[in-house]
Amino acid sequence: MKPLPDIEVLREMLTYCPESGELRWSEAAPRHKGREAGALTKKGYRQVQLTHEGVIHLLYAHRICYALHHGVDPYPMEIDHINRIRNDNAISNLRIATRSIQMRNRKDGALDNTHAANRKPIRITYPNGDTLITDSINAAAYILNTYQSHISIILARRNNIHKPTGAHIAYA
């Protein structure tokens, strides 16, 4: 897995509907304008071939959708399809996850195992009002460090975690 091209490049080339999960080519891609972006792989994921500045990028649609909605490249974290439907890219079905969380979601069809079920979900609220829920302190730390990398996370108390950037983390 590699980092995505710049978010602005993605926004210029593609449009995303968070409710339906549809990813479509914009006017900046005249050959494909308005068509659904990408094709299904043998494993059931939608993959998009994007050419920018002469470089061809093969990208998973769920990573692009997450980045377009949240304005942050999820790299090096993974994006998990909560309902395990690989081509359902609605934002309500996508969450940032560590490899172990993603693997637990795959095992036995269980969304959580006992270890993860004992964890409280964590809600991140950005200054613009966008919110994100994750069940991993590590994922929350990554998201906020990506959001504003030069400020470290302050763990105030076990039940109240916050960052002095205007972004706020608390147990949901």
What's the confidence (pLDDT) of residue 124?
73
Q: What is the pLDDT of residue 39?
A: 93
Question: Residues 89-105: pLDDT tens digits?
Answer: 999 999 888 887 777 77
Q: 1-115 has which CATH code?
A: 3.90.75.20
In whole angstroms, what is the distance from residue 23 CA to residue 128 CA? 23
Choose which CATH entry (1.10.3470, 1.10.1070, 1.10.10, 1.20.120) describes domain 119-172: 1.10.10
| Residues 6+ away with beta carbon under 8 Å from 161 | 122, 137, 140, 153, 154, 155, 169, 170, 171
* pLDDT tens for each residue of 25-45: 998 877 788 899 999 999 999
Q: Where are the domains of the chain?
A: 1-115, 119-172
Question: What average pLDDT does this structure show over 62-80?
Answer: 92
Buried b / exposed e along 100-113 (16+ C-beta atoms within 10 A): ebbebbeeeeeeee
